[in-house]
Amino acid sequence: MIKAGIIGATGYAGNELVRLLTGHPQAEVVWYGSKSYIDQRYADVYQNFFRIVDAKCLDDNMEKMAEEVDVIFTATPQGLCASLICEEILSKAKVIDLSADFRIKDAKRYEEWYGLVHPSPEFLEEAVYGLCEINREDIRGARLIANPGCYPTCSTLAIYPLIKEGLIEPSTIIIDAKSGTSGAGRGAKTDNLFCEVNENIKAYGVTTHRHTPEIEDQLSYAAGEEVLINFTPHLIPMNRGILVTAYASLKRETSYEEVRAAYETYYAGEPFVRVLEKDVFPQTKWVTGSNYVDVNFKLDDRTKRVVMLGAIDNVVKGAAGQAVQNMNLLFGLPETTGLLQIPMVP
């Protein structure tokens, strides 16, 4: 059995990690780290684990944790994992970081977008960006995984085949994304109160959202040139889910069959990417509670543009599920192990 430790086990992503790992046939959680709930029973924090998890929450001592586990998940705010990581820890345990600390290779760019001086830039080059569908082979031999953000996961997978095949003009990409409130975390915030969110939709982080450079980096790698995008996220009144609608100009006249072939080329063998049938477009309710990402596209002959769409559960494929997918690759397990939950409807 793979022994797992979680720092930040009482946040939404941490709770989802506990749910997935508790049902994983070859892994077990042996350290429930939570600075806010030390010595409290985990099932008292999340009653859904009553009579399922009897353990108490421990502290976030990563050095001690590394001596007792095979893999450490850090589901924490930006800056914490990078402040704790060291060579000694990485020599003892694999680390899968769900924050943004190691997603952006340029420390100055990280500091510009996150307002933090990077505590351990010496590990940036080593860290592998954990988007399994693109970096699978690099992930297998890694010690440190930068688990992708939720918006970048959905955006990148929706766009990747077309930018990789050179079918779209990279400079014309516009991404409109909408997410449920769980993406903002479990902390008490006025903007996330029921009366603020219910019967409302709003844009936020307009031109400044922190996931922008992460998306740009991944699309730049695919395009082989620097890509700048317009990315605008919106908060909508539901618990889970992300829907991305992306737009780009076509480089030349392109048929439906050619675009479809691009998606099939990259995703035909992918267990969690579902390319939907023609004119069937992704909906968040069809992926809720699962590690699946649904994608599709629509050509607009009138404007010579293409609309690319994707939907994920932001807490699963956008966070904890993808982290477990990375863990499976790191330890030589079938990638789908513990992750074949069917989406929940309603």
Query: Is 300 in a helix, a strand, or coil?
Result: strand
* pLDDT greater than 80 at residue 111: yes
* pLDDT greater than 80 at residue 74: yes
Does one domain contain both 120 and 257?
Answer: no
Q: What is the pLDDT of residues 206-248, one digit of tens each?
A: 999 999 999 999 999 999 999 999 999 999 999 999 999 999 9
* CATH assignment of the domain containing 45: 3.40.50.720
Whether 305 is in a domain gets the answer: yes
* pLDDT greater than 80 at residue 188: no
Does one domain contain both 161 and 86?
Answer: no
How would residue 186 be classed by pLDDT, with cut points 50, 70 and 90? confident
For residues 325 and 346, what is the distance between their CA atoms, to the nearest angstrom? 25
Rg for the chain (alpha carbons), in Å? 20
Q: Is there a catalytic annotation at residue 150?
A: yes
* Total domains present in the chain: 2
How would residue 189 be classed by pLDDT, with cut points 50, 70 and 90? confident
Q: In the chain, pLDDT over 70 holds for what percent of residues?
A: 100
CA atoms within a 13 Å half-sphere pointing along the CA-CB vector of 155? 30
Q: Which helix (H) or strand (E) holds 29?
A: strand 27-33
Does one domain contain both 28 and 108?
Answer: yes
Alpha helices in the chain (DSSP H): 12-22, 42-45, 62-66, 80-84, 87-90, 107-114, 132-140, 150-164, 194-197, 212-223, 256-267, 321-330
Does one domain contain both 122 and 155?
Answer: no
DSSP letter, residue 56: B
Which residue, among 266, 269, 276, has the nearest Cα to 308 in the 3D structure?
276
Does one domain contain both 174 and 33?
Answer: no
Does one domain contain both 179 and 295?
Answer: yes
Does one domain contain both 53 and 190?
Answer: no
Residue 154 is predicted with a pLDDT of 98
For residues 42 and 62, what is the distance between their CA atoms, to the nearest angstrom? 19
Kindly state the average pLDDT of the residues 94-104.
Answer: 98
Does one domain contain both 119 and 244?
Answer: no
Does one domain contain both 175 and 303?
Answer: yes
**Other Cβ atoms within 10 Å of 255 Cβ, number:** 9
Whether 341 is in a domain gets the answer: no
Whether 86 is in a domain gets the answer: yes
**Other Cβ atoms within 10 Å of 72 Cβ, number:** 27
* 132, 150, 154, 195: the active-site residue: 150
Residue 67 is predicted with a pLDDT of 98
Boundary-marking domain end, from 126, 159, 179: 126
* CATH assignment of the domain containing 175: 3.30.360.10
Does one domain contain both 157 and 304?
Answer: yes
Kindly state the average pLDDT of the residues 104-114.
Answer: 97
Kindly state the average pLDDT of the residues 78-104.
Answer: 97
Q: What's the token pair of residue 117?
A: 């001086």
Whether 320 is in a domain gets the answer: no
Whether 136 is in a domain gets the answer: no
Q: What is the pLDDT of residues 6-53, one digit of tens each?
A: 999 999 999 999 999 999 999 999 999 999 999 999 999 999 999 999
* pLDDT greater than 80 at residue 131: yes
Mean pLDDT lowest among 174-183, 189-198, 285-294: 189-198
Structural contact between residues 284 and 243, judged by C-beta atoms closer than 8 angstroms: yes
280: containing domain: 151-314
Does one domain contain both 90 and 187?
Answer: no
Q: How do strand 202-203 and strand 230-235 relate by DSSP bridges? A: antiparallel
Q: What is the pTM of this model?
A: 0.97
Whether 319 is in a domain gets the answer: no
Does one domain contain both 163 and 305?
Answer: yes
Whether 344 is in a domain gets the answer: no
Whether 92 is in a domain gets the answer: yes
The chain-wide mean pLDDT, for the chain, equals 97
Residue 187 is predicted with a pLDDT of 82
Query: Is 206 in a helix, a strand, or coil?
Result: coil
